[in-house]
Amino acid sequence: MAGLEDLYREIILDHYRNPRNRGELPVPPARRVEGFNPLCGDEVIVYVDLDAGVATVTDVKIAGQGCSISQSSASMMTGAVKGRSVEQVREVIRAFKAMMSIHERGLDGDGKEVEQAVLPDPSVALGDLEALRGVVKFPVRIKCATLSWNTLAQALDDAAAEAEAR
Ligand code: ZN
């Protein structure tokens, strides 16, 4: 039976074979952050352009190489974040991590540091990214899927820290 899994596989392969927003952006004004997943050998380089107020992702490009999961996830990510506000982008990052069952350090009700599941936000639509949902069944591949997202988050954190220091 041709089911959802086949459709998802098709979407992942399409993004792997025809990656969206592939290339580089001039640095500066763009920022360039590299991500590496030693478990699989995946490398993702995220170029991101922010507006002067560090409020909008005006452009994003991806370079690097790796497995189909890492590269298709990066391609889908560019479509989900390009032209969006940084606030919206952070919501999409959280929604994606929630789908990947990622746990992060946070504070519990008593202010103690604990590992907590990132909670899904049902108001954030993931579109094609839903195709990566099946990756959760293969824990070793989760780092492939989240590599570009962590790299993008790093770029946004760096930009915010610099803006604060100005
Ligand atoms: Zn990989």
| CATH number of the domain that residue 100 is part of | 3.90.1010.10
**C-alpha of residue 67 to centroid of ligand 1, in Å:** 4
Q: What is the pLDDT of residue 126?
A: 86
Instruction: With beta carbons less than 8 A apart as the criterion, state whether 86 and 57 touch.
Output: yes
Cα separation, 68 vs 70, in Å, equals 6
Per the structure, the count of domains in the chain is 1
- Are 69 and 81 in contact by the 8 Å Cβ rule? The answer is no
Point out which residues pair with 72 in neighbouring strands: none
Choose among 93, 56, 57, 77: nearest CA to 12: 77
Provide the pLDDT for residue 1: 47
**How many A from CA of 65 to the centre of ligand 1?**
9
Distance 61 CA to ligand 1 centre (A): 19
Residue 158, domain extent: 4-165
Q: Taking the chain (166 residues) in consecutive chunks of 10 residues, what is each chunk's mean pLDDT?
A: 80 96 97 97 98 94 97 97 96 93 82 83 84 91 96 96 87
Q: What's the pLDDT score for residue 58? A: 97
Q: How far is the CA of 158 from the centre of ligand 1 (A)?
A: 25
Quote the pLDDT of residue 112. 87
Going from the Cα of 33 to the center of ligand 1, the distance in angstroms, rounded, reads 18
Distance 157 CA to ligand 1 centre (A): 24
**Which residues neighbour ligand 1 (ion) by CB within 5 Å?**
40, 42, 67, 70, 144
- The predicted structure's pLDDT at residue 101: 85
